[in-house]
């Protein structure tokens, strides 16, 4: 009896140390409980299926009428038989790209500053502040952008167009106006994306092995050397994923675009003025309540395209971020 | 023992200056070397480069006759960066120069980001202050029915919108929290193809466009009900679609860190699985779950796009979320921005300030809750709190 209490040393008892499998009797209550858990998880899938189903059914009419023109026509005007989704899709993507290009470097700098440069005592405060700003509603960012930023960026934008107009993107679709542009929307959306990219990439960078960082410093490396040779290679996947998450957020950005962008429906590469590219979210928000049946159906189809695109971007982004925490390549 | 502690790895982050008490046991021998100290020569180099760059830019701009404050600031920074780089290169070599320039770059980028984000909040406070505080509590209780030509800011308020937001958030919370917590528990417990699929979908739905949630609920609920469809409840449904993935994801992280030994102990004592969840997992994760829920509410309370087609936006008080159109704070902001008139715009700023205040207070509340020890009872302050060692046994 006494020997049973003492743990058996592995060399005394040469059996592999695997846990014993216990076949538990699962009661009826437990079965019901497991069923409840699984069925509540099913709700998320049902919502996804519901969104796809309802948008597909709603957009079917436009798909039948518009058909292949959806991706070939360069103008959006369903009531006149023009079903070109490209100006809106390209516009949504362009806003997200501009936003990520602006927010990316700033967010990386902020994340590095909080992790590596700021005094230790203020780090948690700064982290909290960034997370807090992620909860500020996008309608507030949009209102701020409409009242302040879109006017502030007008004269630098004019200067850019005057001096760098030979670049295809830095042009205006219609001369003279610089306020309600894709660029302005991207700039304001960048403010909503900065907290997201910063917070995700900061977390990934904080997981970089401290031993390796200290080894780099101990070998006489500079702080920047440590960042480029240890932290950035380690967190590369996470940072890419964070950028993609920001891109996804920019794609679905609604209120900022609704408030700032002018209504546009033409395919163009010029990003600095009104009446050019549109945006899916803006088109749905503004036209849907008053649209004719065919127009509504076309807008629902647009919604499906936006939803699918964003979902794909987010899935890829999450997969990359989740894979990054190992880092042992 | 002492030899072991000498080679003990310093705590994470100790390579950077950590102030007094950073070294183990307060011994000076084991204290990490303070890395960067802003020495006098460094300050001198920075200031000198800045002055040289400013002088250069000033001369060029004056000679050319350009008046562009923004352009001048940008040129000043670019020239400063170049001058400082060359200076450090000559004085310290390329390696140190790269490090110094990177330091300047990182701080500049971070300052730009922080300034932009702080500017949002300060601007909203500046614009909305007069609307909210000119006749203080009145703005929080009045509705927008007086809004018209000749109305003053003291005639209107966001009371109806606050009622709508509160009721819709309550409905959305009641719908999503049980579902979210059950789903999170399931995802933590099982590792099947089904659970991995659900997990991926939850992740992807967290960033789904808000307007799609609004469109979905419009097609699902509002359109079949025709004119009676636009209610606070429909808006709450749309908000739930947005909120469910957020709450699930956050709850998943909280439930996952409940110690396995606790659950196994309960199971070993013969407790059925549902009792383990109700009596062990949920109480232990209580603070974290509260944080998850409140963060979800804070994120969703400001969403405009999902409620656009569903709430209706009614200027007067409507206490019944299940019948008739209802207002909502973000929706009220949007509607008032779209109408011309200085007073209407001012009221939109006032509503923005109220919304930002509500969201930030919720966030800070969630933060405070998140710091509470596992298992502590937040809402019974007069009971003695169990400390965490006791919980973990």
Q: Does a structural domain hold residue B137?
A: no
Q: Does a structural domain hold residue B25?
A: no
Distance CA A281, CA A76 (A): 14
Contact across the interface for A194 and B116, Cβ inside 8 Å: yes
Q: Are residues B299 and B207 in the same domain?
A: yes
Contacts 24+ apart (CB under 8 A), A128-131: A128/B367, A129/B114, A129/B117, A130/A195, A130/A198, A130/A199, A130/A202, A130/B117, A131/A195, A131/A199, A131/B363
- Per-residue pLDDT, A9: 56
Beta bridge partners of B326: B312
Question: Does the CA dihedral A276-A282-A288-A290 come out positive or negative?
Answer: negative
Residues of B in contact with A33 (CB under 8 A): 272-274, 277
Which 109-148 residues of chain B touch chain A by CB within 8 A? Answer: 109-110, 112-114, 116-117, 119-121, 123-124, 127
Residues of A in contact with B71 (CB under 8 A): 156, 159
Residues of B in contact with A28 (CB under 8 A): none
Residue B111, token pair as written in the block: 């300052």
Residue position matching structure tokens 């290169």: B89
Q: Are residues B181 and B330 in the same domain?
A: yes
Nearest one of A83, A34, A199, A52 to A132, comparing CA atoms:
A199
Nearest one of B113, B70, B365, B5 to A198, comparing CA atoms:
B113
Q: Are residues B275 and B354 in the same domain?
A: yes
Model ipTM over 0.90: no
CB B333 within 8 A of CB B348: yes
Q: Does a structural domain hold residue A30?
A: no
Determine the residue of chain A that is closest to B11 in CA distance: A210
- Per-residue pLDDT, A6: 54
Determine the residue of chain B that is closest to A224 in CA distance: B99
> What single DSSP character describes residue B231?
S
Task: Give pTM, 2 decimals.
Answer: 0.82
Q: How many structural domains comprise chain A?
A: 1
Q: Does a structural domain hold residue B356?
A: yes
Q: Whole domain around residue A283: which residue ranges?
A: 52-324
Phi/psi of residue A266, each to 5°? -115, 145
Q: How far is B308 from chain A (nearest CA, A)?
A: 8
Phi/psi of residue A83, each to 5°? -110, 35
Residue A325 near chain B (CB below 8 Å): no
SS (H, E, C) chain A: CHHHHCCCCCCCCCCCCCCCCCCCCCCHHHHHHHHHHHHHHHHHHHHHHHHHHHHHHHHHHHHHHHCCHHHHCCEEEHHHCEECCHHHHHHHHHHHHHHHHHHHHHHHHHHHHHHHHCCHHHHHHHHHHHHHHHCCCHHHHHHHHHHHHHHHCHHHHHHHHHHHCCCCCCCCCCCCCCCCCHHHHHHHHHHHHHHHHHHHHHHHHHCCCHHHHHHHHHCCCCHHHHHHHHHHHHHHHHHHHHHHHHHHHHHCCCHHHHHHCCCCCECCCCCCCCCCCCCHHHHHHHHHHHCCHHHHHHHHHHHHHHHHHHHHHHHHHHHHHHHHCCCCC
- Per-residue pLDDT, B122: 92
Q: Are residues B240 and B370 in the same domain?
A: yes
Q: Does a structural domain hold residue A136?
A: yes
Contact across the interface for A40 and B183, Cβ inside 8 Å: yes
Contact across the interface for B15 and A117, Cβ inside 8 Å: no
Q: Are residues B205 and B75 in the same domain?
A: no
Q: Does a structural domain hold residue A177?
A: yes
Residues in chain B with pLDDT values less than 50: 1-27, 379-393
Nearest one of B147, B166, B37, B163 to B103, comparing CA atoms:
B37
Q: Does a structural domain hold residue B13?
A: no
Q: Are residues B176 and B217 in the same domain?
A: yes
Q: Are residues B252 and B187 in the same domain?
A: yes
Nearest one of A273, A280, A321, A274 to A303, comparing CA atoms:
A280
Q: pLDDT (tens digit, 0 to 9) for every residue of chain A, 329 residues total?
A: 444 455 555 556 666 777 777 666 677 888 888 888 888 889 989 999 999 999 999 888 888 887 777 777 777 777 777 777 888 888 889 999 999 999 999 999 999 999 988 888 888 888 888 888 888 898 999 999 988 888 888 878 888 887 887 777 777 777 667 778 888 899 999 999 999 899 889 988 888 888 888 899 889 888 899 999 899 988 888 898 889 889 988 988 888 988 888 877 777 777 787 777 888 888 888 888 888 888 888 889 889 989 998 998 888 888 887 776 544 43
Q: Are residues B185 and B306 in the same domain?
A: yes
- Per-residue pLDDT, A80: 75
Which 8-67 residues of chain B touch chain A by CB within 8 A? Answer: 9-10, 12-13, 15-19, 35-36
Q: Are residues B160 and B85 in the same domain?
A: no
C-alpha separations of A142 from A131, A146, A198, A247, B114 in Å? 19, 6, 20, 17, 18
Contact across the interface for B215 and A284, Cβ inside 8 Å: yes
Q: Does a structural domain hold residue A22?
A: no
What CATH number does the domain containing B224 carry? 1.10.3720.10
Residues of A in contact with B305 (CB under 8 A): 254-255, 281, 285
Q: Does a structural domain hold residue B332?
A: yes
Residue A122 near chain B (CB below 8 Å): no
Q: Does a structural domain hold residue A56?
A: yes
- Per-residue pLDDT, A1: 43
Name the residue among B194, B219, B303 with its Cβ closest to that of A137: B303
Residue B299, token pair as written in the block: 């994120």
CB pairs under 8 A between A and B: 280
Residue A38 near chain B (CB below 8 Å): yes
At A276-304, the pLDDT tens digits run 788 888 888 888 888 888 888 888 988 99
HSE-CB at A91 with a 13 A cutoff on CA atoms is 38
Q: How far is A109 from chain B (nearest CA, A)?
A: 5
Contact across the interface for A106 and B112, Cβ inside 8 Å: yes
Residue B36, token pair as written in the block: 């960067």
Q: Does a structural domain hold residue A4?
A: no
Beta bridge partners of A266: A75
Burial B255-274 (b: 16+ CB within 10 A, else e): beebeeebbeebbeeebbbb
Residue position matching structure tokens 């011309």: B340
Q: Are residues B188 and B322 in the same domain?
A: yes
Q: Does a structural domain hold residue B51?
A: yes
Which 101-120 residues of chain A touch chain B by CB within 8 A? Answer: 105-110, 112-114, 116-117, 119-120
Q: Whole domain around residue B107: which residue ranges?
A: 40-124
Contact across the interface for B201 and A48, Cβ inside 8 Å: yes
What is the Cα gyration radius of chain B? 28
Q: Does a structural domain hold residue B112?
A: yes
Q: Are residues B203 and B161 in the same domain?
A: yes
Contact across the interface for A48 and B12, Cβ inside 8 Å: no
Measured N-to-C along each axis, helices B232-256 and B159-189 cross at an angle, to the nearest 10 degrees, of: 40
At B97-146, the pLDDT tens digits run 888 889 999 999 999 988 888 889 999 999 888 888 887 787 788 777 77
Q: Where are the alpha helices (DSSP H) in chain B?
A: 2-6, 40-64, 69-92, 94-133, 136-141, 159-189, 193-206, 210-217, 232-256, 260-268, 273-275, 282-284, 286-301, 329-337, 342-370, 388-392
Q: Does a structural domain hold residue B3?
A: no
Distance CA A245, CA B268 (A): 42
Which 322-381 residues of chain B touch chain A by CB within 8 A? Answer: 330, 333-334, 337, 348-349, 352, 355-356, 359-360, 362-364, 367
Phi/psi of residue B189, each to 5°? -70, -45
Q: How many structural domains comprise chain B?
A: 2
Residue B122, token pair as written in the block: 């300060």
Distance CA A227, CA A241 (A): 19
Distance CA A95, CA A286 (A): 18
CB A256 within 8 A of CB A138: yes
- Per-residue pLDDT, B124: 92
Return the SS3 of B10.
coil
Distance CA B316, CA B310 (A): 17
CB B311 within 8 A of CB B230: yes
Residue B137, token pair as written in the block: 């509590």
Burial B295-332 (b: 16+ CB within 10 A, else e): bbbbbbbbbbbbbbbbbbbbbebbeebeeebbbbbbbb
Which 60-79 residues of chain A touch chain B by CB within 8 A? Answer: none
Residue position matching structure tokens 């001096």: A163
Q: Are residues B210 and B331 in the same domain?
A: yes
Name the residue among A29, A48, A113 with its Cβ closest to that of B272: A29
Residue A295, token pair as written in the block: 């127009």
Residues of B in contact with A286 (CB under 8 A): none
Residue B189 near chain A (CB below 8 Å): yes
Distance CA B284, CA B179 (A): 19
What CATH number does the domain containing A215 carry? 1.10.3720.10
């Amino acid at each position: 009896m006494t020997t049973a209490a003492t743990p058996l040393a592995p060399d005394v008892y040469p059996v592999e140390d695997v846990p014993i499998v216990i076949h538990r009797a699962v009661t009826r209550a437990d079965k019901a409980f497991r069923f409840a858990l699984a069925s509540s998880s099913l709700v998320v899938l049902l919502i996804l299926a519901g969104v796809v189903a309802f948008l597909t059914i709603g957009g079917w009419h436009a798909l039948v009428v518009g058909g292949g023109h959806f991706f070939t026509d360069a103008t959006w005007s369903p009531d006149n038989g023009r079903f070109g989704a490209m100006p809106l899709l390209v516009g949504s993507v362009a806003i997200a790209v501009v936003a990520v290009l602006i927010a990316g470097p700033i967010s990386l700098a902020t994340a590095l500053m909080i992790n590596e440069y700021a005094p230790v005592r203020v780090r948690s405060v700064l982290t909290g502040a960034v997370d807090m700003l992620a909860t500020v509603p996008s309608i507030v960012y949009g209102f701020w952008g409409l009242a302040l930023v879109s006017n502030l960026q007008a004269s630098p934008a004019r200067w850019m167009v005057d001096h760098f107009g030979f670049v295809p993107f830095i042009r205006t679709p219609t001369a003279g106006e610089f306020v309600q542009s894709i660029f302005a929307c991207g700039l304001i959306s960048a403010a909503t994306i900065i907290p997201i990219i910063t917070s995700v990439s900061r977390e990934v960078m904080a997981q970089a092995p401290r031993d390796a960082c200290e080894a780099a410093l101990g070998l006489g490396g500079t702080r920047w050397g440590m960042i480029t040779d240890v932290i950035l290679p380690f967190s590369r996947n996470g940072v890419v994923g964070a950028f993609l998450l920001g891109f996804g957020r920019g794609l679905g950005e609604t209120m900022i675009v609704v408030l700032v962008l002018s209504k546009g429906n033409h395919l163009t590469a010029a990003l600095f003025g009104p009446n050019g590219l549109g945006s899916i979210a803006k088109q749905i928000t503004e036209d849907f309540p008053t649209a004719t049946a065919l127009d509504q159906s076309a807008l629902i189809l647009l919604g499906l395209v936006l939803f699918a695109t964003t979902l794909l971007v987010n899935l890829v982004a999450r997969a990359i971020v989740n894979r990054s925490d190992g880092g042992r390549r | 023992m002492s030899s072991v502690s000498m080679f003990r790895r310093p705590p994470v982050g100790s390579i950077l200056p950590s102030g007094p008490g950073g070294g183990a046991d307060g011994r000076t021998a084991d204290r990490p070397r303070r890395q960067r100290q802003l020495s006098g020569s460094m300050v001198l180099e920075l200031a000198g480069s800045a002055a040289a760059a400013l002088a250069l830019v000033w001369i060029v701009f004056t000679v050319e006759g350009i008046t562009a404050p923004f352009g001048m600031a940008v040129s000043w920074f670019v020239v400063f960066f170049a001058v400082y780089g060359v200076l450090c290169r000559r004085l310290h070599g390329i390696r140190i120069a790269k490090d110094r320039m990177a330091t300047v770059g990182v701080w500049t980028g971070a300052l730009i980001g922080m300034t932009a984000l702080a500017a949002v909040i300060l601007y909203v406070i500046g614009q909305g202050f007069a609307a909210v505080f000119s006749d203080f509590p009145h703005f929080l209780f009045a509705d927008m029915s007086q809004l018209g030509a000749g109305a003053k800011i003291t005639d209107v308020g966001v009371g109806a919108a606050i009622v709508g937001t509160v009721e819709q958030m309550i409905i959305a919370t009641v719908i999503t929290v049980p579902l979210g917590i059950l789903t999170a528990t399931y995802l933590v417990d099982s590792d099947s193809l089904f659970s991995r699929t659900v997990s991926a979908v939850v992740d992807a739905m967290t960033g789904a466009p808000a307007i799609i949630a609004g469109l979905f609920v419009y097609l699902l609920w509002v359109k079949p009900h025709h004119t009676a469809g636009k209610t606070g409840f429909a808006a709450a449904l749309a908000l739930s679609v947005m909120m469910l993935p957020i709450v699930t994801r956050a709850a998943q992280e909280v439930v996952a860190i409940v110690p396995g030994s606790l659950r196994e102990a309960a199971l070993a004592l013969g407790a059925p699985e549902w009792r383990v969840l109700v009596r062990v997992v949920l109480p232990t994760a209580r603070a974290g779950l509260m944080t998850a829920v409140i963060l979800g509410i804070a994120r969703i309370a400001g969403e405009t796009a999902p409620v656009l087609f569903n709430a209706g936006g009614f200027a007067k008080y409507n206490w019944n979320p299940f019948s008739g159109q209802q207002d909502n704070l973000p929706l009220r902001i949007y509607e008032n921005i779209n109408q011309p008139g200085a007073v209407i715009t001012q009221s939109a700023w006032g509503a923005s300030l109220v919304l930002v205040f509500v969201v930030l207070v919720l966030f800070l509340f969630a933060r405070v809750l998140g710091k509470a020890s596992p298992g502590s009872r937040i809402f019974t302050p007069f009971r003695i709190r169990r400390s965490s060692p006791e919980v973990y046994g």
